[in-house]
Amino acid sequence: MTPRLIKITIALLFCGVIILSGCAAQSTELSFEAMDTFMRVKLFSDNGESASLKIRAETERLDALLSTADKSSAVRALNEDGSLQNGEVADLTRRTLELCGSTGGALDISVYPLVEEWGFISRDYKIPSRERIASLLEGVDYRSVKAEGELVTLRPGMKIDFGAVAKGYLADRLSAVLDEEKTASALLNLGGTVYARGKKPDGSRWTVGIADPENSADFMGSLECEDRVVATSGSYERFFTGSDGRLYCHIIDPKTGYPVDNGVKSVTVVCESGLKSDALSTALFVMGKEKAAEYYKRNGGFEYILLTDKTAYVSDGLIGDFNLARTASYEIEAIR
């Protein structure tokens, strides 16, 4: 992918999260660049070499398919032509639109033109005029994106981007690859979205550190998990200071067209589905603390950690798995 994947998810040191494996068993490791980020894979399997080759090939395939910058990508063609005949993109679109609907539009794949306008793609940051934002908002409505059979169509002038779900979708696809390769133990850091497969060879669970928004080189806590995808969206990695002196983060509210400014610093979602984890980390960030808690209580099927300046709101299912770092200054409040 490209900078259009303007989603800050959990990462390995260089993106603000620390993976704490503590494992000395024999393994196959693979590091490479894809989707505009650095990925690191650790496999514990007799088929490690074969599995690692398939993982890289599948990652590069999806990168080429979903990139909004690559002139030969399917999504680029869709945005330029307004329609696309592609079964995999159509299926991904349908599944993502379901999450857009479930979250009441807090997740909206058609907000991409506003992300461009604010400069988060080119990094030529600016505060658009209210008139320009209002004009672009007219084209933001996930309900105008249609996926019927293998055909995806957009309303004229619309553009979409799968940046909020691409790495989660990749995690799900790589899970299928590891099934084929009979790999029961693996840790996949996909440039931030982390897939912890099975347990470590010593029988313990994987430990994933969650970045501290006040110091992304450190972590504010750690999470014990297995067979889960962990994805984080945060305001602390990509932002700019406007001419008005305010800080503007890269996560755009699809309803207002402005960067989210609701007191949330980051949201980490833990779920069996990578697609869902990735999508909901953005959606809950946009919703804010109260609406995120309401969504969790109403829907379930995932767990989350939401950080504000002083408090870590931890959903009930993670209370026993989450440990606050001794140096962290957060208070923990349970969401039940």
pLDDT one-digit tens code per residue, 285-322: 999 999 999 999 999 999 999 999 999 999 999 999 99
What is the average pLDDT across 56-84? 96
Q: What is the pLDDT of residue 21?
A: 45
Q: Spell out the domains of the chain, with CATH numbers in brackets.
A: 19-66+165-335 (3.10.520.10)
pLDDT for 108 beyond 60: yes
pLDDT for 12 beyond 50: no
CA distances from 28 to 45, 53, 293, 323, 326 (A): 8, 11, 40, 29, 33
What is the average pLDDT across 55-66? 97
Q: What is the pLDDT of residue 237?
A: 74
User: Residue 123 corresponds to which amino acid?
Assistant: R
Q: How far is CA 40 from the centre of its chain?
A: 16
SS3 268: strand
Query: Which percentage of the chain shows pLDDT scores above 90?
Result: 82
For residue 152, report the phi and psi dihedrals to the nearest 5 degrees.
Answer: -110, 130
For residue 289, report the phi and psi dihedrals to the nearest 5 degrees.
Answer: -60, -50
pLDDT band at 230 (very low <50, low <70, confident <90, very high): very high
pLDDT band at 179 (very low <50, low <70, confident <90, very high): very high
Alpha helices by DSSP H, the chain: 48-66, 74-81, 87-102, 112-117, 130-137, 166-180, 274-287, 289-299
pLDDT for 25 beyond 90: no
pLDDT for 87 beyond 50: yes
> In whole numbers, what is the pLDDT of the chain averaged over residues?
91
**Terminal C-alpha separation, the chain:** 37
pLDDT band at 3 (very low <50, low <70, confident <90, very high): very low
SS3 261: coil
Secondary structure string (H, E, C) spanning 273-333 = CHHHHHHHHHHHHHHCHHHHHHHHHHHCCCEEEEECCCEEEEEHHHCCCEEECCCCCCEEE
User: Rounded CA gap, 12 and 190, in Å?
Assistant: 9
pLDDT for 118 beyond 60: yes
User: With contact defined as beta carbons under 8 Å apart, do 276 and 95 qualify?
Assistant: no
The model's pTM? 0.91
